[in-house]
């Protein structure tokens, strides 16, 4: 995918081990491309993602954070994704208030069979981050390299 500019966003994707991580694997084995800007962190369940991790990512210069879990009702741990959904709803509205636009954060349900959806979601998300540009809020400027 040709990039429109030099901007190389940093994107952290938290994926639950049972559905979304497997969906990402399926995207891989089906050779469905998405930009290399996305880096995946494996967590057992979407409910393992502490809002603190997301704040930390923005603090360290991330331009977008996406959380992927099992579809509602399909959680390996029965209800983890519901917790995640509620927590993220709160967190994202707070982040929006703090100036981190809603487009920079996203929750998406991706099952182990949805390699196509995984890659589409990541493509869309990266495109969105490109349209928003570099994130300047929350970043701890002392961490910046240049």
Partner 1 sequence: MQRIGVFVCHCGSNIAATVDVKKVVEMAALEPGVVHAEDYQYMCSEAGQSLIAKAIQEKQLTGLVVCSCSPRMHETTFRKAAERAGLNPYMVEIANIREHCSWIHKDMEEATRKAVILARAAIAKVNLNTPLQPGESRVTKRALVIGGGIAGIQTALDIADAGYEVDIVEKTPSIGGRMSQLDKTFPTLDCSACILTPKMVEAAAHERIRIYTYSEVEKVSGFVGDFTVDIRKKARSVDMDKCTGCGVCQEKCPSKKTPSEFNRGLNNRSAIYTPFAQAIPNVPVIDREHCIKFQTGKCGVCAKVCQAGAIDYEQKDEIVTEKYGAIVVATGFDTIKLDQYDEYAYSQSKDVITSLELERIMNAAGPTKGHLERLSDGKPPKEMVFIQCVGSRCADERGKSYCSKICCMYTAKHAMLIRDKYPDVNVTVFYIDVRTPGKNFDEFYRRAVEQYGVNYIKGQVGKVIPQPDGKLLVQGVDLLDNRRIMKEADMVVLATAIEPNPDVRKIATMLTASIDTNNFLTEAHAKLRPVESPTAGIFLSGVCQGPKDIPETVAQAGAAAVKAIGLLAKEKLTTNPCTAKSDELLCNGCSVCANVCPYGAITYEERQVNDHGIREVRRLAVVNSALCQGCGACTVACPSGAMDLQGFSNRQIIAEVDAICR
Instruction: Give the separation between CA 48 and CA 101, rounded to whole angstroms.
Output: 23
Closer to partner 1 by Cβ: residue 2 or 131: 2
Placement of tokens 């879990």 in the chain? 69
- Closest distance to partner 1 from the beta carbon of 97 (Å): 21
Q: Kindly report the length of the chain.
A: 146
CB of 74 to partner 1, least distance (A): 6
Q: How far is the CB of 101 from partner 1 (least distance, A)?
A: 18
Q: Would you tell me which residues interact with partner 1 (CB under 8 A)?
A: 10, 12, 17-19, 21-22, 24-25, 27-29, 31-34, 36, 39-45, 47-53, 56-57, 60-62, 73-80, 83, 87, 111-114, 119
Q: By the 8 A CB rule, do 123 and 37 touch? A: no
Write out the two tokens for 32: 């469905």
- In terms of CB distance, is 73 or 103 closer to partner 1? 73
**How many C-beta atoms lie closer than 10 Å to residue 48's C-beta?**
17
Structure tokens at 122: 């990541």
């Amino acid at each position: 995918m040709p990039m429109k500019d030099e901007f190389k966003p940093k994107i952290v994707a938290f994926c639950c081990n049972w559905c979304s991580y497997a969906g990402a694997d399926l995207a891989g084995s089906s050779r469905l491309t998405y930009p290399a800007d996305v880096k995946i962190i494996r967590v057992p369940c979407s409910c393992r993602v502490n809002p603190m991790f997301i704040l930390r990512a923005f603090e360290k210069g991330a331009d977008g954070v996406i959380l992927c879990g099992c579809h509602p009702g399909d959680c390996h741990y029965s209800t983890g994704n519901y917790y995640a959904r509620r927590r993220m709803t709160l967190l994202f509205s707070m982040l929006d208030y703090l100036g981190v636009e809603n487009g920079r954060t996203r929750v998406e349900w991706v099952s182990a069979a949805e390699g196509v959806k995984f890659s589409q979601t990541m493509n869309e998300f990266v495109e969105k981050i490109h349209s928003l540009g570099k994130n300047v809020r929350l970043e701890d400027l002392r961490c910046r390299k240049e």
